[in-house]
Amino acid sequence: MNLEKRDYDAVIVGSGPNGLAAAILLQQQGLSVLVIEGKDVIGGGLTTAELTLPSFKHDVCSAIHPMALASPFFRTLPLADHGLEYIFPGLAAAHPFDDGTAAILDHSIQTTALHLGADEREYTKIMQSVTAAWPLIDEDILGPLHFPKHPLALAGFGLKALTSAGSFVNRFKTKQARGLFAGMAAHSIQPLSNLSTAAIGLVLLATGHMKGWPIPKGGSSSIAKALSSYFTSLGGTIQTGLYITSLDQLPSAHAILFDITPKQLLQIAGHKFSVIYKWQLERYRYGMGVFKVDWALDGPIPFTAAECRKAGTIHLGNTFEEIAEGEILSSKGKIAETPFVLLAQQSLFDSSRAPQGKQTAWAYCHVPNDSTHDMTAIIENQVERVAPGFKDLILAKNTMNTAQVETYNPNYIGGDINGGIIDLAQLFTRPALRWSPYKTSAKGLYICSSSTPPGGGVHGMCGYNAAKRALKDVFGILV
């Protein structure tokens, strides 16, 4: 498909949440902005489809969105006016154990802590501190490295967050608190012995207490539709069905922002970059991949622990030690027989997802990058372990290995859904060590994907920060 021949102030390549966030901020300043999407539908990982049976709606990639409500940029947008409605499960998350009990993430810190036995006081102290500091530090945490607005508050958080999850968890004594924190920290998709893995655990717990872990009604595509609707209401333009492989395909623009990872950026614009910048992008590291399963079910998952039947998200993996061992194995290129499994059961709370009396479920586990090992039976065994009878409910299923995940979304290199490993070495310097991580070495070219700070998640802050940089550099506009 060919583009209309006209000039734009800015062009965005890729319509994931970061690309759309960048486009919106630029358009809000009165610029003429074009978004180009390779697929026929916008959204990147924010897509919903009938993957198994007719009328069973599955989120193809992202499913639960704790960071969407926590995003300093998204919360300023009138997305409800453009059709976005969030549903809040009774519990944000639950973590079942082999003995039939479960730890929970409730909106209330106190209610969550009550399920943690001897760790009630310690958990309460930690999370009251983090949630009190969050409104002061959220833009610093979700942005590039810079001098913070509230340095003492950020330092207090950093002392906790920059440690490894394996070290931080020693603050707790009970399997309930240790297991709950393991499931949260495992969202970092790296060994829990790595420095800074405590950060994602703390942030996800804090967002659960402050905002909840919402489910977008109708599917994750509802977020993309609302973002694109707001963008076009401002006068923005979207072109779908055009996969960009060369700068020559793009119309004339003062600024071009790429919602893609370094691998694709090198293919498209590598010839424009300095030797040093190109060298850094070539050495950018991708992390573990995911193997994903979607199920059409004949009824709700029969979890032994009643708390799990009230939660939108379930973390499977039993103890901290078991989850940590699985993450280490996957990072070393091995297959874990009892991996950490992230499961979402959206249709329990959103009846539009499945026919009456039926349910859908969504799950993935971490695997070595580029692995095509079939993890279906392993994942189903992990569910059956805490929900006997689950397998009998399966009407149909759809699976995606790392190669299929990357084929669906080329940003997920080797199945890495975080746009590159977010370890300490790539936390603030992703994708390259530069004064601004969003600015490439070529004039007018920027990267705005999850390969820039703050990394993966549906929050749009990578795109927002990149657009702020482009506005200042190219258009002399400060926001």
Q: Check whether residue 189 and residue 232 sit in a common domain.
A: no
Q: Is residue 396 assigned to a domain?
A: yes
Residue 360 confidence (pLDDT): 98
Enumerate residues 6+ apart whose C-beta is below 8 A from 155.
none
Considering only CA atoms, which of 356, 360, 333 is closest in space to residue 346? 360
Q: Check whether residue 189 and residue 110 sit in a common domain.
A: yes
CA of residue 88 relative to chain centroid, distance: 18
Beta bridge partners of 478: none
Q: Check whether residue 67 and residue 193 sit in a common domain.
A: no
Of 369, 390, 408, the domain-final residue: 408
Q: Tell me: the pLDDT tens digits for 312-338?
A: 999 999 999 999 999 999 999 999 999
Considering only CA atoms, which of 383, 389, 395, 397 is closest in space to residue 357? 395
Question: Among all chains, which residue has been given the structure tokens 């065994």?
Answer: 381
The domain containing residue 281 runs over which residues? 8-49+59-84+216-285+414-475
Helix H or strand E segment including 313? strand 311-316
Q: Check whether residue 296 and residue 321 sit in a common domain.
A: yes
Q: Check whether residue 102 and residue 186 sit in a common domain.
A: yes
Q: Check whether residue 363 and residue 281 sit in a common domain.
A: no
CATH number of the domain that 94 lies in?
Answer: 3.90.660
Asked if residue 423 lies in contact with residue 190, where contact means CB atoms within 8 angstroms, the answer is yes
Number of independent structural domains in the chain: 2
Q: Is residue 153 assigned to a domain?
A: no
- Compute the distance between CA of residue 259 and CA of residue 238 in angstroms, rounded to an integer: 14
* Mean pLDDT along residues 259-271: 98
- Compute the distance between CA of residue 164 and CA of residue 430 in angstroms, rounded to an integer: 19
- Compute the distance between CA of residue 185 and CA of residue 181 in angstroms, rounded to an integer: 6
Residue 5 confidence (pLDDT): 58
Q: Check whether residue 316 and residue 378 sit in a common domain.
A: yes
Q: Is residue 247 assigned to a domain?
A: yes
Instruction: With a cut of 70, say whether residue 3 has pLDDT above it.
Output: no
Q: Is residue 187 assigned to a domain?
A: yes
Instruction: With a cut of 90, say whether residue 286 has pLDDT above it.
Output: yes
Q: Check whether residue 365 and residue 236 sit in a common domain.
A: no
Q: Is residue 433 assigned to a domain?
A: yes
Cα–Cα separations (whole angstroms), residue 376 to 65, 285, 381, 393, 421: 24, 27, 9, 15, 24
Q: Tell me: the pLDDT tens digits for 150-164?
A: 999 999 999 899 999
Instruction: With a cut of 70, say whether residue 281 has pLDDT above it.
Output: yes
Burial class of 217 by CB neighbour count within 10 A (0 to 12, 13 to 18, 19+): middle
Q: Tell me: the pLDDT tens digits for 5-57?
A: 578 999 999 999 999 999 999 999 999 999 999 999 999 999 999 999 999 99
Of 386, 408, 430, the domain-final residue: 408
- Compute the distance between CA of residue 414 and CA of residue 249 in angstroms, rounded to an integer: 26
Neighbour-count burial for 4-30, b at 16+ CB within 10 Å, e otherwise: eeeebbbbbbbbbbbbbbbbbbbbbee
CATH number of the domain that 440 lies in?
Answer: 3.50.50.60
- Compute the distance between CA of residue 148 and CA of residue 145 in angstroms, rounded to an integer: 9
For residue 364, which amino acid is it? Y
Enumerate residues 6+ apart whose C-beta is below 8 A from 102.
94, 95, 96, 115, 303, 305, 307, 308
To the nearest whole number, what is the mean pLDDT of the chain?
Answer: 96
Q: Tell me: the pLDDT tens digits for 394-449?
A: 999 999 999 999 999 999 999 999 999 999 899 888 999 999 999 999 999 999 99
At 82, the pLDDT band (50, 70, 90 cuts) reads: very high
Q: Tell me: the pLDDT tens digits for 205-237?
A: 999 999 999 999 999 999 999 999 999 999 999
DSSP β-ladder status, 8-13 and 289-297: unpaired
Q: Is residue 38 assigned to a domain?
A: yes
Instruction: With a cut of 90, say whether residue 146 has pLDDT above it.
Output: no
Give 70's DSSP letter: H
Q: Which two tokens stand for residue 273?
A: 């970059």
Q: Check whether residue 222 and residue 209 sit in a common domain.
A: no
* Mean pLDDT along residues 346-372: 98
Q: Percent of the chain scored above 70 by pLDDT? A: 99
Q: Check whether residue 76 and residue 176 sit in a common domain.
A: no
Question: Among all chains, which residue has been given the structure tokens 């029969």?
Answer: 302
Q: Check whether residue 278 and residue 377 sit in a common domain.
A: no
Q: Is residue 145 assigned to a domain?
A: no
Helix H or strand E segment including 276? helix 275-282
Q: Is residue 116 assigned to a domain?
A: yes
Question: What is residue 426's three-state secondary structure?
Answer: helix
Of 408, 430, 463, the domain-final residue: 408
Considering only CA atoms, which of 297, 270, 390 is closest in space to residue 341? 390
Q: Check whether residue 229 and residue 349 sit in a common domain.
A: no
Residue 427 confidence (pLDDT): 87
